[in-house]
Structure 1
Amino acid sequence: MKILFLTDNFLPHFGGSRVYYYNLCKNLPQNSVYVFTNKIKGSDAFDVQQSFLIYRLPLDCFKCISKLLNEIWIIIVGLLAGGYLVCKHNINILHCGEILPMGIVGFILSKIFKIPYIIYTHSEDVGVLRSLKGERKLGVFILRNASKVISACKFGEDQLIKLGIPEDKIFRLTPGVEDFFLRKINYSDIEKFKEDKNLKGRKILLTVGRLIKRKNHISVIKSLPCILKEVPQVLYLVIGRGPEENYLKELTEKMGLASCVRFEGEVSKEELFKYYACCDVFVMVSKECKEGDVEGLGIVFLEANALGKPVVGPNTGGPAEYIAHNFNGMKVNPDSQEEICKALIRLLKEERLCKKLGDNGRRIVSLKFRWKDKADLVYKLSLSLVNA
């Protein structure tokens, strides 16, 4: 069986859904998957290192001019390239990483070549689709005509049902964690890393993710004055970039918190491992935005738990499904600085509790969230649809 994965972006582009797609493709059987995606900076060097073939063409040619024009371009290029690849590799099934516009490409190609297509959805995509008017009908049409719709969490599944997608069409596939993040920690390396990054003697809070409103970095920053009264050595490390970066930096300066907040930008996977290993608590209190943008399950919570770190997340959305309160982390109201402050102070001050929750998290991830197991489920699902 041969799978063609169509997505408008892919690693090395930063983002949770890109990590999700990459790890599925990486763990599928050898020579069973081909990817068509956007050509971006650094993609050539990335692609030659992979065990599966990646085909790329520029898909952002009109992004700066018009979103609609760029989506039309993606559909045209996707149809031409996708049709060629279906014929070249005798593709049996299409996997589409987005509802729109790649879902349109998948729908049309499935009709032309009489092969099934699957749509992958994430809570943020479905939430935004629900808030739109013009694109909503088209998106629902694409979803209803798919052979299966994959959701990364129950929260996203519930949103799909509210859109009118039949429950038996939805297949829940939670994210996994790379074995890379489950490997044994070399503590001498971590101590050297702490020294190099001037982290020794600090109690470290860590957030990893794009700097966008949904990630709600602002609530953690605004909680810091309260935390500093109880834990004066606290340091908040923020990894990632995004449109909110300048605003968050200005807010940090304005609040006089420059000495206890550091923006580290984007980092390599090896550095990310070390940042997770250095931190005392991972925190990301995501919230739903007005336009319907909402957090999915959140791979970063799994990665932090994989390294034995307790996680603090929101009591809504995808993360709330994964976090078991007082077992592998704590859930808080993302709009309540008081709740955020109390949870973080407790974990920073109670080392035994911190370790217990982190150890529990590592066990959960090791048992239930391995990418190889997730890829096996996707392959079996695809095979059943091809043979139906």
Structure 2
Amino acid sequence: MRILIITQNFPPLEGGISTHTYEMAKNFVFCGQEVMVVAPFLKSSSEFDKKQNFRAKRFPEFSAGPLLRFLITLFCSFSAALKFKPGIIYTTHWKNAGVVAVMLSVIFRIPHVLFVNGTEINFLKSKKSEYRLFRFVAGHSQKIIALANFQADLLKKLAIDENKIVVAHGGVDFPRFEKKDEKLIQSLKEKYNIGTKKVLLTVGRLVPRKGHSSVILALKEAIKTYPKVVYFIVGRGPERENLSKLAEDSGLSNCVKFTGFVSDEEIIAFLHLCDIFVLPNKVVNGDYEGFGIVFAEANACGKPVIGGKSGGVSDIIKEGVNGYLVDPENIMELKEKILEILENEKLARQLGLKGREMARNEFNYSNTARKIVDIFSKLI
């Protein structure tokens, strides 16, 4: 089967959709399929594409009006389809790429499958023109892949035919996260003078919906019982100054460490050295955590996780199995769950081991790719 993927986000661009699309392209090939990706050209795209097991056609991305961007995407996708002769089209965006996919689906008489990631569909009913466009693209898609059950429910509320909707979770590159770099871990311990302290960790963009502030406030209470704790905040974002001030005002300047940007290798090392991964995600102005693959990445490293009761996170975190779900606004509940794990090493180990098993068996890209390829096969 030949699969044409049309996307607006693709490596070397960073981000969740970019990673998902890349992993699907790579793993579709591992499943025995031929793949061509149509994506924007970025600096270092050429070097990146040379290393892949699939073909890529890049189109120029520059500041221009939406019509010109659409026409460029259409032209490049059409020429790619003429040459590649795909049996199916897979898109990870419903706007430009989605409309282009619908047009090519009609022209070449091949099925189109749309992937829906997260928050973008939560705002559609308040934007009539975009809502109509989404309904058009979804209506002309043979199947719609939802990242989690939360997105599937949102699609149903938008009156999308539920017979078209299939949930296919995101995944983890399990071997990559399972492997421990002991030398790098030791280097980080020495750099931050961790010693025998227990480590809480959040990895993610510093924005309100990630719940960093809730962890700081919970830590303020937790250290009264368990003082030997340090909290690492890995990532960048607009909330850095506010969070730093909150830590200072809470008397936690020595307990809360901001690392800023770190490499992928260092992220994995931090996940291995932490005792609890905690990200009490919340809904802020309609923005939510679409899936939270970082929880599965922490689980892959054998760590217990604590997340918030919002978005698609409940698909990953099973209460008392691989971690806990909390009300992100309930600081005392969050504190109690943190202490429950810190004070019970057997429980922490059980949660981490079960999480690793779930990451290996339920949340890996190869399984997701096989599931989607099976969907494709039934449409052709």
Q: Partner of 1:7 in structure 2?
A: 7
1:265-276 equivalence runs, <5 A: 265-276=260-271
Superimposed CA distance per residue, residues 285-317 of structure 1 (whole angstroms, 9 cap, x where no aligned partner) = 111222x22212211111111111001011232
The aligned counterpart of 1:164 is 159
Q: How far has the Cα of 1:53 moved from its partner?
A: 2.3
2:299 to 285, 302, 305: 305
1:344 to 1:37, Cα distance in 2 relative to 1, 3 A? same
The aligned amino acid for 1:314 is G
- Whichever residue aligns with residue 303 of structure 1, its letter is E
Does the aligned pair in 1 maintain the 2:73–2:96 contact within 8 Å? no
Q: Which range moved further: 182-191 or 279-288? A: 182-191
Counterpart-to-counterpart distance in 1, 2:127 and 2:155: 14
Q: Distance in 1 between matches of 2:133 and 2:280?
A: 32
- Give the match for residue 74 of structure 1: 69
SS of corresponding position for 2:115 = strand
Aligned residue for 1:28, secondary structure, equals helix
Distance in 2, Cα, partners of 1:96 & 1:271: 32
> Quick one: which amino acid aligns to residue 234 of structure 1?
V
For each residue in 1:240-291, what CA deviation from the matched residue of structure 2 results, as whole angstroms up to 9, or x when unmatched? 223333433344344443322222233322222111101110111111222x
Cα deviation code 1:89-145 (max 9, x no counterpart): 112221111122321121122222222211110232221324433311211221121
Q: Call closer, same or farther: CA 1:55–1:213 in 2, change over 3 Å.
A: farther
Look up the match of 1:65: none
Tell me, what secondary structure is at the counterpart of 2:297? helix
Q: Secondary structure at the match of 1:14?
A: coil
Call closer, same or farther: CA 1:113–1:124 in 2, change over 3 Å: same
Contact kept, 8 Å, 1:15 with 1:210, in 2: the verdict is no
Most deviating of 205-214 and 320-329: 205-214
- Note closer, same or farther for the CA distance 1:149–1:42 as it changes in structure 2 (3 Å cut): same
Task: Output the CA distance in 1 between the equivalents of 2:18 and 2:264.
Answer: 14
Distance in 2 of aligned mates of 1:259 and 1:44: 44
Change (3 A) 1:33 1:250: farther
Greater mean alpha carbon deviation, residues 344-353 or residues 128-137: 128-137
More deviation, 315-324/236-245? 236-245
| Letter of the 1:32 counterpart | E
Structure 1 length-normalised TM: 0.90
What code does the residue aligned with 1:245 have? R
Partner residue in 2 for 1:39: 41
Going from structure 1 to structure 2, the CA distance change for 1:35 and 1:242 (only over 3 Å counts) comes to farther
Structure 1 residues 217 and 128 mapped into 2: Cα distance closer, same or farther (>3 Å)? farther
Aligned to 2:259: 264
Q: 1:356 aligns with which of 350, 360, 365?
A: 350
How far off its partner does 1:160 sit? 0.3
Structure 1, unaligned runs of 5 or more = 63-68
Please say if residues 181 and 269 of structure 2, whose CA atoms lie closer than 8 Å, have aligned partners that are also in contact.
Answer: no
| Aligned-partner Cα distance in 2 for 1:216–1:102 | 32
Cα distance in structure 1, aligned partners of 2:284 and 2:308 = 13
The residue that corresponds to 1:325 in the other structure is: 319
1:29 corresponds to: 29
Q: How far did 1:24 drift?
A: 1.3
Gaps of 5+ in 2: none
How does 1:73-92 map onto structure 2 within 5 Å?
73-92=68-87
Between the aligned partners of 2:199 and 2:334, the Cα distance in structure 1 is 15
What residue is the counterpart of 2:364 in the other structure? 370
Partner SS, residue 230 of structure 1: coil
Match of 1:233 among 228, 234, 246: 228
Distance 1:309 1:181, change over 3 A: farther
Instruction: Give how far 1:41 is off.
Output: 4.2
Structure 1 residues 250 and 48, CA gap change in structure 2 (3 angstroms): farther
The 1-side partners of 2:222 and 2:68 are apart by 49
Q: Percent of aligned pairs with the same residue? A: 35
RMSD value over aligned CA atoms?
2.1
Q: Confirm or deny: 8 A CA contact 1:205 1:234 kept in the other structure.
A: yes
